[in-house]
């Protein structure tokens, strides 16, 4: 008769087996249980902090740019404007454009509304 030990991940004789903790006699004797539990607790803690870190990172990740064509604020994931539609639900001419330089005076060269009558 054997029981699966959660600690050493193998089947062990029932003799001395702790059914509550699901640890075999060997693991209880060597203190392996406590050691593994401590390691697991540490791993859990690390995973938790890692998740927290990723979450913080993620929240900062989406960059926002204003499309120079339709002036919508878009979330940027690459180095191009994502495909999007303008106010008339037509694909915007700014879709897939390289990102505008983050300087407002670059935008001033475009006449406002010059793209709005494109009708394409
Ligand atoms: Zn064991
Ligand atoms: Zn646009």
Note the pLDDT of residue 39.
Answer: 92
| Helix ranges, the chain (H) | 25-30, 32-60, 104-107
Q: How far is the CA of 93 from the centre of ligand 2 (A)?
A: 6
Q: How far is the CA of 5 from the centre of ligand 1 (A)?
A: 5
Instruction: State the ligand closest to the CA atom of 16.
Output: 1
Q: How far is the CA of 104 from the centre of ligand 1 (A)?
A: 66
The label of the residue with tokens 């495909």 reads 83
Whether the full predicted model's pTM is greater than 0.75, yes or no, is no
CA 25 vs. chain centroid, Å, equals 42
H or E element that contains 116? none
Give the residue ranges of the chain where pLDDT is below 70.
57-62, 100-120
Note the pLDDT of residue 102.
Answer: 55
Q: How far apart are CA 13 and CA 15, in angstroms?
A: 5
Q: What percent of the chain has pLDDT over 70?
A: 78
């Amino acid at each position: 008769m054997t029981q699966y030990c959660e600690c050493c991940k193998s089947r062990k004789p029932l003799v001395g087996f702790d059914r509550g903790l699901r640890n075999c006699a060997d693991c209880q004797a060597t203190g392996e249980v406590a050691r593994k539990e401590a390691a697991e607790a540490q791993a859990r803690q690390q995973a938790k902090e890692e998740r927290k870190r990723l979450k913080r990172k993620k929240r900062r990740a989406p960059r926002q740019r204003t499309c120079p064509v339709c002036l919508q604020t878009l979330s940027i994931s690459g180095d191009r404007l994502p495909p999007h539609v303008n106010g008339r639900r037509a694909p915007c001419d700014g879709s897939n454009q390289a990102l505008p330089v983050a300087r407002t005076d670059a935008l001033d060269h475009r006449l406002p509304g010059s793209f709005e009558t494109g009708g394409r």
